Amino acid sequence: MITLTPLSSSAASSSSTEPVCYLLQLDEARILLDMGQRDFRSSAAQTSWHYEEKVKELAPTLSLVLLSHSPTNYLSLYPYARARWGLTCPVYATQPTVEMGRVVCLSEVESWRSECAVNGPEEGAVEGEAKGSNKNKGKRPLRGPFVPTAEEVHEAFDWIKAIRYNQPLHLGGDLSHLLLTPFPSGHTLGGTLFKIRSPTSGTVLYAVGINHTSERHLDGMVGGQNGPTGYAEGVLRPDLLIVEGGRSEVVNPKRRERETALLDLVTSTLHSGHSVLLPCDPSPRLLELLILLDQHWTFKLTSAQKKPRQTQQPQGSDAWPYPLCLVSRTGQDMVAFARSLIEWMGGVVKETGGEGVVGDLSATKGKKRKGRGAAAALASEYGALDFRHVQCFATPGDLLQTYPSMRPKLVLAIPPTMSHGPSRFLFTAMANTEGNVVLLTSRSEAGTLARELYERWEKNQEDAAKWGHGRIGKIAFLDGQLEVQMDSKVPLSGAELEERLDAERLQKEREAAHQAAVDRSRRMLEADDLDSDSDSEGSEAGDADGIVIQRRGADTANANAYAGENEDVRTMSFDIYVKGQQMRVGRGAAGEMARFRMFPFLERKGRKVDAYGEGLDIGQWVRKGREIEEEGETEEVREAKKRKEEEEEKQKVPPEPPSKYVTEPIALELRASIFFVDMEGLHDGQSIKTIISDLQPRKLIVVRSTSDSTSSLVKSLVSTAGLTKDIFTPSTDEKIKIGEHVQSYSITLGDSISAGLAKKWSKFEGYEVAMIDGKIAFAPGSTVPVLETSDRVKPLPVEAIDSDSNEKKPGEVVEMTTTGAGAGAGAVTEEPAAQTSAEDGGGQVKSEPEEPLAATQPTEVEDVNSAIQSEPERQPLKPAETVAPSSSAMKTTLPTSLFIGTLRLTSLKSRLSNLTPSIPSEFAGEGILLCGPGILALTEQNQGDDNDDTKKKSKSKGGVVAVKKVGEGGVVLEGTVGRVWDIVRREVQGALARVDAA
């Protein structure tokens, strides 16, 4: 049973910018597919957090979490749920997704916390919850944004288990029956298609965020692998395919056109003496832009060096003096992680990066270096990931201090939404200068500054040039005013600073006083313990009703033992038992009794002597051990320890000065220009339809789409011949149930059958199948039936039945079987035959009596699902008689072989064309494929060249074999027997799983 519930990004009314999260219930497992979050500013502005509340409710009950991509809308809620919502189940993702996701979350968290105040972890209830009978009474509702700390981000991503592409993973624990296999999906580094196989429910393929085309740093979706369609065979024919349909009406321009438009705009803007601001994400798609721009800078510099030096050059003596800047707190970490993940990349990076380039660079001077394309030109051990022209800055202040505002430059700043961080600050600094350009590479999330700018650009475009119509738009000019709310964290000064320092000083004094009180109490307890020991050893006599302790004066010698340094004991107050601070109560004429304050009570269990009565001095042993360690250290060890301490001192973050969070609205006079080019690296409408058609799923669920896009995609898929019609389009929180609950039964193959199956297994869609013939028997004391060959299950003579134990009645049929796990050893069982009820679903199978051993009949198969009918006119069994099978249980002869699978004529055509020599084939109609060299002559004949030469050519070139699909799963081959016939027949059979008879 498969159940899918979209918690966000459904197929009804969602957009591509919503967080991605789906609950997949597979058998008894509860699997969460991705766990994204909105932009922090957009989340803070919304009024309903139904999605986050649902995730919080499900977090403790989940069995598994799968993270497919590293952008924020796929995984940024995971660290918060892991730290504060009780998410403890296993989490799986590829190694690039783990590292790049860590960079993305850290960048977002640090940027937001540096500008906006973040509340502490929300409490589950307010005061009064414990008093109320209703558990939900007093619950505080969730309120975003949900921003974890940097430590929580590191801890959460350290918990993730990294997996590799194309490697099946057997899950453990309650998920031991599931098989998880990741496949590359394109779009982002480490992007994954998750294939989950259940033995009872089938195969589920989760394909969200896919790109079929190769890019500069990535290959396409499971591309370049075996299979007639270019995809890995493991992803073909899934029982359920979960795919996004939001871009089903989008037409992407060619990648070369988009890159050319972007580089031309950057070049023209820099030559005009102005700057370009390019908002980008912290990691997933930033690599593609960095590789493209860094190669463009290399090309410009190389071209300038080849040209003769001109007398006048703008911007100094350098022909290309424009800096390429990246403003990100995690930019250096992202580049370092990317260089360690070259094996996961493709495209230019795979060609230029790696040890081959290092070998070329380290070649001797006398040898001629062998060029390896772009790798030799880049001349770096990292190839395309060298980024020689990229300069990283942590803050916008560092950038402006190095390159003033008026100097032309290209600045990549995070985040792409411009809702906070460097991109928002730099936009306010550059938008009021005419000639500057804001270059957007994604439409960003609704309700953000970047989305508002994109909408302004789209209003100035023609209908044919708008996004999704296959054309590159034109640059648009911004005008008017725009109010931007700027958040910042500023140091305190003046009276506010003094007030904060006074408050901190009072807090430190209170903490010091509390610590002093704790230390004083500890000293008093230790001194009290020593005094009590000496008193118990020195005096044994006492009052009959209790020990009378005299009051000690303030001037006694032992009084100062309870006081701290320079502390007067007369001014001390005690709330625990202390000698000298007691009052006496009269107890008649017998005397007085001392009453002490006895709460709290602390029982000391420490031992002051060892087993031999010698006193223990722990401090002496500690000092001696330290001295021994210091004596054994060499000078190198001391220097290394000293250097380590110095490095730790340098790495210590100095305490931040007292500061406050300030929100200031700024009215901007917009004079810059805006341009948009799609660089998200996602599929378009025609691609997703082709991908679904190639994968051939049995059932399909469309998610992450709008209602219009969903309708268009479903209409197109329904009209496609040979594609499934079981298409589901769930809305948010709507449960889609695939399949029904089935009863599974276990059966054990006996040694007589399993020994002969070694060479009879045939592979079919990841399974291994074989045909067997046998009879079911039950071993004594076992509930699992055993399947043995027919000659091993022999009838038992009726004389062996104890007539006293069971009395047979007229009309009752008795089944007798002998079962054995060894060679012939068996136990006798006797039970009445019963009809198989419909409630059991045909799962209860009874063994029929055997025919005499002397019979020489061919091997036959029994219909195990048919019931054994009891006829009233039958007489009780007599000795030496056997029961013949009833007429209702007719036996059918076993076929010689069986072919399992579905023949696809397009795949057959591809297989024939890949042979050596290839066999041409053409479609002659729906369900008919003509194969063989003779179809070339038939083509000429159809064109009107009908003469004797054509007929002779047809005979000389070979015959034609027609492959027809008839009925439900029927295949017919027509043609002349010969070489072509044999080849086509072999390929047809090779596309199916052949199961030979037992």
Q: What DSSP string runs through 13-28?
A: B--TTSPPEEEEEETT
Would you tell me the crossing angle of helices 286-306 and 331-339 to the nearest 10 degrees? 90
Residues 63/67/72/74 CA torsion (nearest 10 deg) = -80
Can you tell me whether residue 589 is helix, strand or coil? strand
d(CA 529, CA 719): 91
What local confidence, expressed as pLDDT, does residue 76 receive? 94
Residue 526 banded pLDDT, cuts 50, 70, 90: low
**Residue whose C-alpha is closest to residue 262's, from 274, 245, 240, 278:** 278
Is the pLDDT higher at 622 or at 240? Answer: 240
Maximum average pLDDT range among 309-318, 407-416, 568-577, 874-883: 407-416
Is the pLDDT higher at 947 or at 905? Answer: 905
What local confidence, expressed as pLDDT, does residue 849 receive? 38
State residue 561 phi and psi, 5-degree precision: -70, -25
Least confident of 179-183, 763-767, 856-860: 856-860
The average pLDDT across 116-133 equals 50
Count other C-beta atoms under 10 Å from residue 208's C-beta: 24
The average pLDDT across 524-542 equals 51
Q: Are the C-beta atoms of residues 323 and 391 closer than 8 Å to each other?
A: yes
* Phi-psi label, residue 34: left if phi above 0, alpha if psi -120 to 50, beta otherwise: left
Whether 277 shows a pLDDT value over 50: the answer reads yes
Cβ-proximal residues to 772 (8 Å cutoff; 6+ apart), any chain: 749, 753, 757, 787, 998
The average pLDDT across 438-449 equals 91
The average pLDDT across 382-392 equals 88
Query: Residue 19 corresponds to which tokens in the numbers above?
Result: 């967080």
Can you tell me whether residue 929 is helix, strand or coil? strand
Whether 832 shows a pLDDT value over 50: the answer reads no
Query: Residue 644 corresponds to which tokens in the numbers above?
Result: 């380590």
DSSP strand E in 877-936: where? 892-893, 897-900, 921-925, 928-931
Return the ∠ at Cα 714 (arms to 712 and 720), rounded to 5°. 105
The average pLDDT across 42-55 equals 87
Q: Percentage of the chain surpassing pLDDT 90?
A: 35
Can you tell me whether residue 97 is helix, strand or coil? helix
**Residue whose C-alpha is closest to residue 674's, from 989, 278, 303, 992:** 278
The average pLDDT across 684-695 equals 91
Which ranges constitute the DSSP H helices of 431-493? 449-459
Count Cα neighbours of 749 within 13 Å in the Cβ-side half-sphere.
12
Query: What pTM does this model have?
Result: 0.68
DSSP 8-state code for residue 805: T
What local confidence, expressed as pLDDT, does residue 872 receive? 39
Q: If you count them, how many residues does the chain have?
A: 998
Query: Residue 469 corresponds to which tokens in the numbers above?
Result: 């119509």
DSSP strand E in 511-630: where? 583-586, 592-595
Maximum average pLDDT range among 3-7, 132-136, 974-978: 3-7
- Is the bond leading into 145 cis (omega within 30 degrees of zero)? yes
**Sequence-separated contacts (24+) of 754-761 with Cβ below 8 Å:** 756/998, 760/995, 760/996, 760/998
Name the helix (H) or strand (E) containing 716: helix 707-718
d(CA 477, CA 366): 57
What local confidence, expressed as pLDDT, does residue 853 receive? 32
List residues bridging with 928 in a β-sheet: 925, 964
Q: Are the C-beta atoms of residues 713 and 752 closer than 8 Å to each other?
A: no
What average pLDDT is seen over the chain? Answer: 75
The average pLDDT across 532-539 equals 48
Return the ∠ at Cα 356 (arms to 352 and 362), rounded to 5°. 115
Q: Are the C-beta atoms of residues 373 and 356 closer than 8 Å to each other?
A: no
Give one DSSP letter per residue of 307-373, joined into a string. Answer: SPPPS--TTSS-SS---EEEE-TTHHHHHHHHHTTGGG--HHHHHH-SHHHHHHHT--SSSPPPP-T
Least confident of 168-182, 295-309, 452-466, 535-549: 535-549
Q: Which domains does the chain possess?
A: 2-118+143-251+683-738 (3.60.15.10), 255-302+321-352+381-491 (3.40.50.10890), 898-939+956-995 (no CATH)
The average pLDDT across 154-166 equals 94
Amino acid type, 100: M
Whether 266 shows a pLDDT value over 50: the answer reads yes
Amino acid type, 639: E
**Residue whose C-alpha is closest to residue 798's, from 874, 882, 871, 884:** 882
Q: Percentage of the chain surpassing pLDDT 70?
A: 68
Cβ-proximal residues to 878 (8 Å cutoff; 6+ apart), any chain: 798
Is the pLDDT higher at 577 or at 516? Answer: 516
Strands 727-728 and 583-586 turn out to be unpaired
Q: Are the C-beta atoms of residues 954 and 938 closer than 8 Å to each other?
A: yes
Q: Are the C-beta atoms of residues 111 and 423 closer than 8 Å to each other?
A: no
Cβ-proximal residues to 138 (8 Å cutoff; 6+ apart), any chain: 125, 126, 127, 128, 129, 132
Q: Are the C-beta atoms of residues 415 and 111 closer than 8 Å to each other?
A: yes
Burial class (CB in 10 A: 0-12, 13-18, 19+), 173: exposed
What local confidence, expressed as pLDDT, does residue 622 receive? 74
Whether 364 shows a pLDDT value over 70: the answer reads no
Q: Are the C-beta atoms of residues 413 and 280 closer than 8 Å to each other?
A: yes
Span 556-613, pLDDT tens digits: 444 444 444 554 444 444 455 555 555 555 555 455 555 555 555 555 555 566 677 7
**Residue whose C-alpha is closest to residue 12's, from 651, 709, 532:** 709
d(CA 57, CA 733): 14
Whether 362 shows a pLDDT value over 70: the answer reads no
Least confident of 133-137, 672-676, 958-962: 133-137
**Residue whose C-alpha is closest to residue 343's, from 147, 156, 190, 174:** 190
d(CA 501, CA 489): 17
DSSP 8-state code for residue 234: G
The 3-state secondary structure of 765-799, one letter per residue: CCEEECCCCCEEECCCCCCCCEEECHHHCCCCCHH
Query: Residue 540 corresponds to which tokens in the numbers above?
Result: 């044994």
What local confidence, expressed as pLDDT, does residue 370 receive? 39
What local confidence, expressed as pLDDT, does residue 730 receive? 93
Residue 823 banded pLDDT, cuts 50, 70, 90: very low
Maximum average pLDDT range among 26-40, 776-790, 820-834: 26-40
What local confidence, expressed as pLDDT, does residue 794 receive? 61
Whether 391 shows a pLDDT value over 90: the answer reads yes
Cβ-proximal residues to 875 (8 Å cutoff; 6+ apart), any chain: 810
DSSP 8-state code for residue 874: P
Is the pLDDT higher at 773 or at 544? Answer: 773
Maximum average pLDDT range among 298-312, 324-338, 517-531, 864-878: 324-338
Query: Residue 591 corresponds to which tokens in the numbers above?
Result: 């005397």
DSSP strand E in 723-875: where? 727-728, 736-738, 748-749, 762-764, 767-769, 775-777, 786-788, 814-819, 827-832, 860-861
Span 948-973, pLDDT tens digits: 554 444 444 567 888 888 877 788 88
d(CA 705, CA 16): 7
What local confidence, expressed as pLDDT, does residue 497 receive? 85
Whether 804 shows a pLDDT value over 70: the answer reads no
DSSP strand E in 871-918: where? 892-893, 897-900
Residue 994 banded pLDDT, cuts 50, 70, 90: confident
Whether 983 shows a pLDDT value over 70: the answer reads yes
Return the ∠ at Cα 23 (arms to 17 and 24), rounded to 5°. 125
Count other C-beta atoms under 10 Å from residue 136's C-beta: 8
CA distances from 415 to 9, 274, 424, 573, 885 (A): 22, 22, 8, 59, 78
CA distances from 550 to 54, 582, 584, 592, 594 (A): 68, 9, 10, 11, 8
d(CA 148, CA 157): 12
Whether 252 shows a pLDDT value over 50: the answer reads yes
State residue 921 phi and psi, 5-degree precision: -150, 145
End-to-end CA distance of the chain: 32
Cβ-proximal residues to 23 (8 Å cutoff; 6+ apart), any chain: 4, 5, 7, 30, 31, 32, 33, 58
State residue 593 phi and psi, 5-degree precision: -125, 135
Least confident of 361-370, 704-713, 760-769: 361-370
Whether 7 shows a pLDDT value over 80: the answer reads yes
Span 321-332, pLDDT tens digits: 899 999 999 999
